[in-house]
Homo-oligomer: A and B are copies of this chain.
């Protein structure tokens, strides 16, 4: 499966307001145009990740939207998710490739030049590059890359790229114009007062920036 990275939601169920709120938000933002979903629940234990995934996966399948799991390959295997998104300190991509079916999607977080030149990069189906801008969502985030450096990296990368980190309305147009295939957001949707409207607006900004 080749993911449409245009509007990639990193779903934080705690930020959404809990289990039921996360299910409800997911259904609504799928209808509003989210194109990929990744579950990331660092405060949660795995049994809850699995329970939530068993609710979200049918919604994503109905919408034709890939459902990915952050970090935990075992949860992805347990619920038959469409892939995993791995960080530089998670299991190596070579290991993930071996453990997952060949059609599953492997994403990799890239935060600096060293990451970009690593062997893992070549094995990823897409790269999540960031934080492009400063962000308050991820406490242990690397320093922001900045738009100028991001533009430079985009000229060297052949894989699909989703930009992440501090991406709101203003930043969306910039990263898309720089060549990103899409934007990944957490709080811009999960913490929005109107997640459906936030999704629609981001979708429009992406479309406009591509023209």
Interface residues, chain A, with chain B CB atoms under 8 Å away: 45-48, 50, 71-75, 77-78, 87-92, 95, 99
Chain A interface secondary structure, helix, strand, loop or mixed? helix
What is the CA–CA distance of A89 and B48 in the complex, to the nearest angstrom? Answer: 8
Q: Which residues on B sit within 8 Å (CB–CB) of A74?
A: 72-74, 77, 91, 99
Q: Which residues on B sit within 8 Å (CB–CB) of A77?
A: 73-74, 99
A46 with B90: CB separation less than 8 A: yes
B95 with A50: CB separation less than 8 A: yes
Give A65 Cβ to nearest chain B Cβ, in Å. Answer: 24
What is the CA–CA distance of A154 and B45 in the complex, to the nearest angstrom? Answer: 29
Q: Which residues on B sit within 8 Å (CB–CB) of A95?
A: 50, 78
Per assembly, the copies of the chain total 2
Q: Which residues on B sit within 8 Å (CB–CB) of A99?
A: 74, 77-78
What is the CA–CA distance of A47 and B92 in the complex, to the nearest angstrom? Answer: 7
B78 with A46: CB separation less than 8 A: no
From the candidates B71, B75, B88, B91, name the one contacting A91 in the complex (CB within 8 A): B75
Q: Which residues on B sit within 8 Å (CB–CB) of A50?
A: 91-92, 95
What is the CA–CA distance of A74 and B75 in the complex, to the nearest angstrom? Answer: 8
From the candidates B46, B73, B90, name the one contacting A47 in the complex (CB within 8 A): B90
Q: Which residues on B sit within 8 Å (CB–CB) of A45?
A: 87, 89-90
Which 7 pairs from chain A and chain B are nearest by CB?
A45-B89, A73-B74, A74-B74, A78-B95, A46-B91, A47-B89, A46-B90
What is the CA–CA distance of A86 and B78 in the complex, to the nearest angstrom? Answer: 14
Give A70 Cβ to nearest chain B Cβ, in Å. Answer: 12
What is the CA–CA distance of A166 and B25 in the complex, to the nearest angstrom? Answer: 44
* Chain B residue with the shortest CB-CB distance to A88: B47
Q: Which residues on B sit within 8 Å (CB–CB) of A48?
A: 89
Q: Which residues on B sit within 8 Å (CB–CB) of A47?
A: 88-92
What is the CA–CA distance of A50 and B89 in the complex, to the nearest angstrom? Answer: 10
B75 with A46: CB separation less than 8 A: no
Q: List 17 A-B contacts (CB under 8 A).
A: A45-B89, A45-B90, A46-B89, A46-B90, A47-B88, A47-B89, A47-B91, A50-B91, A72-B72, A72-B74, A73-B74, A73-B77, A74-B77, A74-B91, A74-B99, A75-B91, A78-B99
